[in-house]
Amino acid sequence: MRTHHKNWAWLGALALTAELGMAAPASADDPPEWSTPVKPFRIAGKIFYVGTKGLAAYLIVSDQGAILLDGTTAENAPLIERNIEAVGVPLHAVKRLICDHAHQDHVGALPQIKQDTDAEFLASAGDRWALEHGRVRGDTNYEPKPFAPIKVDRVVRDGETLQLGDMTLTAHLTPGHTPGCTSWSTTVQDRGRQLNVLFLCSITVAGNILVGNHAYPQIASDYRATFRKLETMKADIVLPSHPDIADVLEREARRVAGETDAFIDPQALPSLVAHFSAAFESALVAAR
């Protein structure tokens, strides 16, 4: 197995954004890549990328239907639904909807997709209020975009498993970016190997107020607890909600070019955690 040791230099720009307390992208007009179509593709096992160039949506397929993780922005709902069908899954086969955190660029399309699929929506208690009210819970240095509210059909707890047919996902509460930020893990069989896959919720500061956050007073301690938790976890494949965080589309291009194991990178998770933990601490010092 070839492990790709990527160039992490791009992380500096993201760190600078966090350290200077600059606004998250959702405060301005959406970047064009958020709605730029890409051809959906299989990542490993029965996990498919069905998102856009700038925003991820992942379809986990079982023998009894499929689970959709994230939906991107509201405007992308028809595109995401076409991508689901393009990988051979009819919309009525989508039985569960889940998300990693309650921001409009990740859950905006889910109300429409929920209506079109009649799927059950599961989310953490920490993000339930935001999801059902259509607005971010927590103080930020930008004006978050609202989104259409979506009813949470079932609350998931830390460590709880979501079973659908022959696929099992485990919820890992990793709060900080939002109070209910949830990472999800699963294992897949791929070419005779068992691979650990982590759908990583955002661990960036991205405009969150870290000191004196009246709506989310424990934000700093939550970030630190999340970094400690992630430091103990292992993943062969890391799949974030913003694909550029782990070069998801670049890895697919490399695989198409012949690098069979382009998605497998056990160093991706510790590298990301170390970098964004340091960026958080710098932002926290600057905020005091």
What residue ranges define each of the domains in the chain, with the CATH number in brackets?
8-287 (3.60.15.10)
Which one, of 116, 122, 115, lies nearest residue 153 by Cα?
Answer: 122
Element (H, E) at 11: helix 11-19
C-alpha 260/C-alpha 229 separation (Å) is: 30
State residue 29's pLDDT score: 81
Taking only Cα atoms into account, the Rg of the chain, rounded to an integer number of angstroms, comes to 18
The residue among 16 and 98 whose pLDDT is bigger is 98
C-alpha 45/C-alpha 60 separation (Å) is: 9
Say if CB 132 and CB 152 are below 8 A apart. Answer: yes
Sign, Cα dihedral of 92, 97, 102, 103? negative
pLDDT band at 165, cuts 50/70/90?
very high
Which one, of 267, 251, 270, lies nearest residue 44 by Cα?
Answer: 251
Between the CA atoms of 228, 234, 239 and 241, what dihedral angle is there, to the nearest 10 degrees? Answer: -10
pLDDT at 2 over 60: no
- Which stretch of 14-28, 42-56, 159-173 has the lowest confidence by average pLDDT? 14-28
State residue 13's pLDDT score: 40
E runs forming strands in 105-160: 120-124, 154-156
State residue 210's pLDDT score: 97
Mean pLDDT, the chain, integer: 91
The single-letter DSSP state of residue 232 is T
State residue 237's pLDDT score: 98
Q: Tokens in use for 147? A: 């989104």
pTM equals: 0.90
State residue 288's pLDDT score: 87
Vertex 163 angle, CA 180 and 43, to 5°: 80
Sign, Cα dihedral of 36, 37, 38, 42? positive
Chain segment 22-74, per-residue pLDDT in tens: 333 343 489 999 999 999 999 999 999 999 999 999 999 999 999 999 999 99
Q: Tokens in use for 249? A: 């589309």
The residue among 17 and 149 whose pLDDT is bigger is 149
State residue 225's pLDDT score: 98
pLDDT at 17 over 90: no
Between the CA atoms of 56, 83, 40 and 11, what dihedral angle is there, to the nearest 10 degrees? Answer: -10
Cβ neighbours of residue 83 under 8 Å, at least 6 residues apart?
Answer: 40, 50, 51, 57, 59
State residue 43's pLDDT score: 98
Q: Once rounded to an integer, what is the mean pLDDT over residues 75-87? A: 98
Q: Which residues of 126-155 are buried (b: 16+ CB within 10 A; e: fewer)?
A: bbbebbeebebbbbbbbebbebeebebeee
pLDDT at 189 over 90: yes
C-alpha 241/C-alpha 100 separation (Å) is: 8
Say if CB 130 and CB 148 are below 8 A apart. Answer: no
